[in-house]
Structure 1
């Protein structure tokens, strides 16, 4: 087995763990949001969404891009300058925690000024209640980034994916059952973040990731800051792309409209689930390929992961795009189904993001983080301009168009720049044979006008996906790496996959 095959197996094994954690996290988060959406009115749910949006922007600024820059630098130093790793870790943590304390103070001060801008009578109070969670969220994100630099996924699974949303759900439900009001939601959120962060600090100390005595190295701080600054700006622009719609709906309308829109937006954001899970271990491995000058290995890694991600994501997209009312009703209830058209538009934009693969992480791996930032600048400018032009005319559908266009813009730029830098792009012949039937089936099922309710939506989606799988097998899109992956799963789990491997072997690509 060549190095690319081994790398793909490692990514896939990591993806399995990260995917499990991400699925659990999303389900717990969805459950919490659904409880809040159903227990309180749409205005209050919109206010909750706006509060977390502002808080998330503050967290992104506080992280200084270190959640992406730190794992890359740890991975590099472990190979050549291992003695610098403790200083690297504690310097990065001190930088981010200091920034988070400053942003907490800024958020507390600005809360009463932000509330009238977004026409939200609750926001002044809820932001002040939620702001103390900020340093703990930053600490958790950075310690998970440290473990990622060591090639570990356990900390991400337990302390970021599972524990915070689980604790929030438990505390939230307990409070609501005892008659707690709307403001308790934010106290529950803060407490869940504090407990999760404290447990992760304890775990990191026991694993030896955190030195007992902090080391602040100004040279390392400068290097980290210069490398991570574009990543921070990219992260801020990601939030502009992802959350300007909610903020501007609050500005032009009110939290009730924001609440309606967020009956659709969280569902569309489920689509990059497999993409994000695959990416957790992708970047350190892609960096190793590039550092060793193995561009062909990097190309193979990028194309194969992109193909896997599309195939895994497609049934979710098919269900959401063809049956948007069923998807909304399943999670948030009938009072949010007016957002069905917005969900269809958003799902198209997020699926395009999935189709283009891990282009952003590939750019970081090849030392081009500024290209991500540039692409996000174009996309964010388009997002803001289109929101201004479309929201007053088309409401939540206009906001959905603005967000989708911004994701398309960012991904086109990133893919173009990656190809310009390395000659790599995702569109191999096998991938085209995977894409075309899927997109064709989506158009056909939507045009058929099948009744949009769960009793028909689920079986029709399952049948459509089976037809799709049969089609891509018939087009011979299976590659050697797919069989090698099944070998690795078989040896690791003990599950006998011989019949599956023999079946796939009959449809190996000629490429």
Structure 2
């Protein structure tokens, strides 16, 4: 279970990174009452998180044995079921978790305490009910449901306080791009090559990533606001990505 928890929890690394980088930006915009800028940053961040995390989720769901086997060995494959269950909950939290950040930025700390308390109690109760029935899968379901509840409550309170919500039509293009890329990758690995060993999967991953990125660009999945997000990332991290910016501009 710990293996499944740790590995699926990697999905939340992206949310933590974005929070660290953009929370000060959002606080500054809110402090200046720049609501349009605040809204733009929030929605763009949610879109970027979805674009980054969704393909990772697809790999975790469709290749769980391979992911766990490569990282921890053959014995870890036994944790595939809880791994998938946890991945789904952590995915939702990673995509919608910025709503909780917005609640914090607007100063509603008591609301965050309420959300945390409700979800902690929910997790405890579900563990007591589910673990005796279905073992580690029950523990995974309890954790996944709790994180999903955190996400739902965060979105609800974020909308209540600011009128903002993370669900957008722009998610459709990354979704189509991800599923199409997965279909090609899955078909290649499972049918054409018919080998899912680590020495086949790892070298093949760049194909999946490049195809996914190309489809997003080809479908006009990025806009000028994404360049703003990229510039902010560069400023905060000290890393330059002129090549990536040129590519994005070409497909706008």
With normalisation by structure 2, the TM-score equals 0.83
Asked if 1:403 is matched to 2:143, the reply is yes
CA distance in 2, matches of 1:352, 1:414: 11
> What is aligned with 1:237?
none
CA distance 1:452–1:373, shift in 2 (3 Å)? farther
Q: Secondary structure at the match of 2:3?
A: coil
CA distance in 2, matches of 1:299, 1:479: 15
CA distance 1:437–1:486, shift in 2 (3 Å)? closer
> What is aligned with 2:198?
454
Higher relative CO (CA 8 A, sep ≥ 6), structure 1 or 2?
A: 2
CA distance 1:310–1:459, shift in 2 (3 Å)? farther
Alpha-carbon RMSD across the aligned residues, in angstroms, is 2.9
> What is aligned with 1:272?
12
CA distance in 2, matches of 1:403, 1:375: 15
CA distance in 1, matches of 2:160, 2:29: 18
CA distance in 2, matches of 1:414, 1:440: 31
Asked if 1:469 is matched to 2:191, the reply is no
1:387–1:402 Cα contact (<8 Å) kept: yes
Match for 1:428 among 148, 168, 172? 168
> What is aligned with 1:390?
130
1:318–1:461 Cα contact (<8 Å) kept: no
CA distance in 1, matches of 2:90, 2:22: 20
Match for 1:328 among 28, 43, 68? 68
Match for 1:380 among 120, 123, 129? 120
CA distance in 1, matches of 2:249, 2:134: 50
Asked if 1:283 is matched to 2:23, the reply is yes
CA distance in 1, matches of 2:126, 2:50: 28
Q: Secondary structure at the match of 1:263?
A: helix
Q: Secondary structure at the match of 2:11?
A: coil
Q: Secondary structure at the match of 2:25?
A: helix
CA distance 1:367–1:338, shift in 2 (3 Å)? same
1:324–1:452 Cα contact (<8 Å) kept: no
Q: How many residues align?
A: 245
Bigger radius of gyration among the two: 1
Deviation at 1:314, TM superposition (A): 3.5
CA distance in 1, matches of 2:187, 2:151: 27
1:279–1:361 Cα contact (<8 Å) kept: yes
CA distance 1:362–1:307, shift in 2 (3 Å)? same
Asked if 1:319 is matched to 2:59, the reply is yes
The CA deviation string for residues 327-347 of structure 1, in whole angstroms up to 9 with x for no partner, is: 222222222221111111111
CA distance in 1, matches of 2:124, 2:85: 17
Gaps (5+ residues) in structure 2? Answer: none
CA distance 1:482–1:419, shift in 2 (3 Å)? same
CA distance in 2, matches of 1:353, 1:419: 16
The CA deviation string for residues 42-87 of structure 1, in whole angstroms up to 9 with x for no partner, is: xxxxxxxxxxxxxxxxxxxxxxxxxxxxxxxxxxxxxxxxxxxxxx
Match for 2:79 among 318, 322, 339? 339
CA distance in 1, matches of 2:118, 2:183: 29
Deviation at 1:265, TM superposition (A): 0.9
1:380–1:406 Cα contact (<8 Å) kept: yes
CA distance in 1, matches of 2:141, 2:221: 33
CA distance 1:470–1:493, shift in 2 (3 Å)? closer
CA distance 1:440–1:478, shift in 2 (3 Å)? same
CA distance in 2, matches of 1:446, 1:417: 39
1:379–1:406 Cα contact (<8 Å) kept: yes
With normalisation by structure 1, the TM-score equals 0.43
Asked if 1:302 is matched to 2:46, the reply is no
The CA deviation string for residues 211-243 of structure 1, in whole angstroms up to 9 with x for no partner, is: xxxxxxxxxxxxxxxxxxxxxxxxxxxxxxxxx
Q: How does 1:174-323 map to 2 (within 5 A)?
A: 261-323=1-63
